[in-house]
Structure 1
Amino acid sequence: MNKTTIIEAKQCVGQQVTIGGWLNNKRSSGKIAFLQLRDGTGFIQGVVVKATDEEMFQKAKSLTQETSLYVQGLVKEDDRSPLGIELEVTGIEVIHEAVDYPITPKEHGTEFLMDHRHIWLRSKRQHAIMKIRNEIIRATFAFFQDRHFVKVDAPILTSTSAEGTTELFHTKYFDEDAYLSQSGQLYMEAAAMALGKVFSFGPTFRAEKSKTRRHLIEFWMIEPEMAFCTHEESLEVQETYVTSIVQAVLDNCQIELETLGRDTDVLEKIKAPFPRITYTDALALLHEKGFSDISWGDDFGAPHETAIAEAFDKPVFITHYPTSLKAFYMKPDPTNPDVVECADLIAPEGYGEIIGGSARIDDLALMEERYKEHGLDHESYSWYLDLRKYGSVPHAGFGLGLERTVAWISGTEHVRETIPFPRLLNRLTP
């Protein structure tokens, strides 16, 4: 008998197949048992008819939630199913019976579900979010590699902070101090000077004591860096990239978006180019909306970003922030040194910043001046200064936070559901 998966069973209509999976749920009448089966690739309904096989019908009724099993059956078309098929069951082989599975179809509190994250992942909703995350990652690699970017892996253990902050996780590296990376950007700049256009994809860590729905302690970043690239050219790459990953999810995750109840009309509007507003103009907009407590030079918080985003139906770039608010490596605007050539991309619907990027300082004297202003240790950062000494070129880059992007595209309220095993202020397990 043909052994297949649920997702591949669409190609097996009219055939007898065997599927290895788990019992997600079940219901039965006096004559028919409906088995909701999952195997990781998808979900399918198995139908057992009492009149056809009394013994198998009783066996189906006795199955417990999350029991693992092999199911044999005939694949039949069914327009009511998201996959368009169902399984007419002809055989059931129990592999392992699950007893007292803790996550039942009833409502459970968030902390309970987080304590059981290792099995909460099996639920239909979490499965859908993880599949969307996977599609965004797949589409990311396709986007950059199709455009001749080279994937480069940045180190996780570093001797310095990428942005000069103190929100770092400290560890010992034999007899030296080391820190968990908060960004691979500085290393991507070095790689761009060797390979032209590069991107990294890896975990980053922020020792920020925040409990908001937008924050994780450990999260994943996509960080492209481009030599011979202006700030304007970088913005064009960013909006094209975001457009492409949204379209990839729309094309390849229709079942998952439907499972989550996502309004796809909103996503269909996400097409480049994106609107742009300067920090100064955004501040004026906030004042019009009644935010009288924020002045030029103050950073925007979540309520401010949400209010700005509400004025647009696409992601919006907020550009040219005050120099004092941004990292030491950002390039000043040549027409106004009080602001830098940078942009934050704010997602619609209150999801906040998903990208931060800028042109980088490529002038050696100006970078040395920034080192002094920010009190950076020349010995620790000497290699970064070398990039301005030996063949410096204009370059720019950005970082996209994967979990916030998954949350926005999938319509998930809290980022803790967008990573398999979230690390939060009060949570290091499971």
Structure 2
Amino acid sequence: MKTTIDKVHEHVGEEVTLGGWLANKRSSGKIAFLQLRDGTGFIQGVVVKAEVNEETFELAKRITQESSLYVTGTIVKDERSPLGYEMHVKKLELIHEAVDYPITPKNHGTEFLMDHRHLWLRSRKQHALMKIRNEVIRATYEFFNEQGFIKVDPPILTGASAEGTTELFHTKYFDEDAYLSQSGQLYMEAAAMAFGKVFSFGPTFRAEKSKTRRHLIEFWMIEPEMAFMDHEDSLELQEQYVSYIVQSVLKNCQIELKTLDRDTSKLENVQAPFPRITYDDAIKLLHEKGFDDIEWGEDFGAPHETAIAESFDKPVFITHYPAKIKAFYMKPDPDRPEVVLCADLIAPEGYGEIIGGSQRIDDLELMEKRYEEHHLHGPAYEWYLELRKYGSVPHSGFGLGLERTVAWIAGIEHVREAIPFPRLLNRLYP
């Protein structure tokens, strides 16, 4: 009977066949221990010389790392194993022998590993990271489907900037100028006017020449947009969503979190509601912590966000930023127009902003004024203005950066390991 490693718990005491690869091995005279992987997980196969024929044992001793094979044996419980099970091997069938596999069990430099990213993904820690990423994605769909959202896919090629910035990748769209999307938000607002509650999940691109551990050139975003929801409603949805995905990873990725040596006690505390602090109070807090150089009206950098987060044991919302440092579409606070109804959600442990969101301007006259202030002219922006002409309603939305969120949940140092094939300032290969 063929099965997979993630299903071996269903076959205790039974003889089964796995198709997989040899991740590592060790042997001691009359016994060989094969570390096997098949894409669904890792399991140890034990080959005892006295229990197999001579050909099988010789193959077990000489088989090379990352060779592919079929392995037949009996599944038994083993509490010492991270999986809880191992296989007592009866038969080995070599499919393909790998020769001189470049990523050996010794330590390798980051650039070497990134050059071999297509192979590095096979390792235990990288495998664990991709499983956690997949769980965040699965839980995202589950959460928004349960909340009555519809998934809408915005275009990747656009005729204008979503946020009025110049950090765009330019291309030619036949006879027109076009750009790789830096956000699907504007299109999601149009979708929200049609369907009420929508979300998108797709790649976004920022031509930002940054080399920090928090930045990628190409990354994936989850962008919900909600009609008839104000700023406060949006904050409540955000904290429910983040709590949901964290708890889903804790529930379904225990083996992967252990593989990464993640301190899960810090994740167990991630339950709504989250603390909130205004931009004004954040400035005061930073001054108390010795950041005397930051002044009101300036945006926060990574050290500032980390210092603020250290004062809380959960993700923290920073709300009501100055209008002049935020996007043109954010709704001003009616009681204080120099700040906007927005929030950034800052993750604990130095991972920085994982969500940016706001209530959107729904007033046509004010949006026209913003167009003038930001020099947003031409047909590329006309359709967005029309959303305020035909049945405008209060609405809000936010965007969560998948890779930063995965990096935080997994407890890794750099976002480059939170995506299968990272695109960085100095890397377009493989």
TM-score range, shorter chain: over 0.9
% of aligned pairs identical? Answer: 78
Deviations 1:254-284 (A, max 9, x none): 0000000000000000000000000000000
Q: Secondary structure at the match of 1:108?
A: coil
* In structure 1, distance between residues paired with 2:280 and 2:368: 28
Q: Contact 1:230/1:394 (CA < 8 Å) preserved in 2?
A: yes
Do residues 319 (structure 1) and 300 (structure 2) align? no
Deviation at 1:55, TM superposition (A): 2.8
Residues 283-337 of structure 1: per-residue CA shift (max 9 Å, x gap)? 0000000000010001100000000000000000000000000000000000000
1:6 paired with 2:15, answer: no
For 1:294, what is the secondary structure of its paired residue?
A: coil
Look up the equivalent residue of 2:376 and give its one-letter code: L
Alignment match, 1:401: 401
Look up the match of 1:201. 201
Give the drift of 1:244: 0.2
Q: Does residue 1:32 correspond to 2:36, yes or no?
A: no
Match of 1:239 in 2: 239
**C-alpha distance after superposition, 1:105-132 (max 9, x if no partner):** 0000000000000000000000000000
Task: Kindly indicate whether the alpha-carbon contact (under 8 Å) linking 1:355 and 1:400 is maintained by their aligned counterparts in 2.
Answer: yes
CA distance in structure 1 between the partners assigned to 2:261 and 2:194 by the alignment? 45
Displacement of 1:379 in angstroms is: 2.1
Provide the residue aligned with 1:114 in structure 2: 114
1:51 aligned residue? 50
Q: Secondary structure at the match of 1:111?
A: helix
The answer for the alignment partner of 1:190 in structure 2 is 190
Q: How does 1:4-403 map to 2 (within 5 A)?
A: 4-53=3-52, 54-403=54-403
Q: Deviations over 1:334-363 (max 9, x none)?
A: 000000000000000000000000000000
**Alpha-carbon separation, structure 2, partners of 1:324 and 1:352:** 21
Once residues 365 and 98 of structure 1 are traced to their aligned partners in structure 2, the CA distance between those partners, rounded to angstroms, is 67
In 1, Cα distance between equivalents of 2:378 and 2:276: 36
**Using the alignment, how far apart are the partners of 1:160 and 1:197 within structure 2?**
24
Question: Residue 314 of structure 2: SS of its match in structure 1?
Answer: coil
Is 1:305–1:346's contact at 8 Å kept on the other side of the alignment?
yes
Counterpart CA distance in 2 for 1:114 and 1:336 is 48
Look up the match of 1:424: 424
Q: CA deviation at 1:10?
A: 1.1
SS in structure 1 at match of 2:211: coil
CA contact (8 A) 1:10 1:83 kept: no
The worse-fitting range, judged by mean Cα deviation, of 296-305 and 73-82 is: 73-82
**Any conservation in 2 of the 1:371–1:378 contact (CA below 8 Å)?**
no
Task: Please state whether the residue corresponding to 2:5 is helix, strand or coil.
Answer: coil
SS for the counterpart of 2:51 is coil
Q: Distance in 1 between matches of 2:113 and 2:201?
A: 28
Name the amino acid aligned to 2:34. Answer: L
Output the CA distance in 2 between the equivalents of 1:399 and 1:377: 25
Name the SS for the 1:216 alignment partner.
coil
- 1:58-88, CA deviations, whole angstroms, 9 ceiling, x for partnerless residues? 1101010000000000011111112211000
Distance in 2 between the 1:225 and 1:163 partners?
Answer: 16
Deviations 1:117-160 (A, max 9, x none): 00000000000000000000000000001111000000000000
Shift of 1:178: 0.3
TM-score where L is the length of structure 1: 0.99
Aligned residue-pair number = 429
Residue identity matched to 1:17? V
Distance in 2, Cα, partners of 1:338 & 1:61? 72
TM-score normalized with structure 2 length: 0.99
**CA distance in structure 2 between the aligned counterparts of 1:379 and 1:401, rounded to whole angstroms:** 29
What is the identity, as a one-letter code, of the residue corresponding to 2:184? G
SS in 1 for 2:256: helix
1:369-406 C-alpha deviation (Å, 9 max, x unpaired): 00000000142211000000000000000000000000
Distance 1:6 1:281 in 2: 51
Supply the RMSD in Å over aligned alpha carbons.
Answer: 0.5
Q: How far apart are the structure 2 equivalents of 1:385 and 1:378?
A: 11
CA distance in 1, matches of 2:202, 2:131: 18
> C-alpha deviations, 1:202-254, integer Å up to 9, x for none?
00000000000000000000000000000000000000000000000000000
Q: Aligned letter for 1:298?
A: E
Cα contact 1:37–1:45 (8 A) shared by 2:
yes
Q: Which SS does the other structure have where 1:56 is aligned?
A: helix
Moved more, 79-88 or 255-264: 79-88
- 2:245, 2:18 → 1: CA distance? 31
Q: Structure 1: state its 5+ residue gaps.
A: none
> Helix, strand or coil for the counterpart of 1:388?
coil
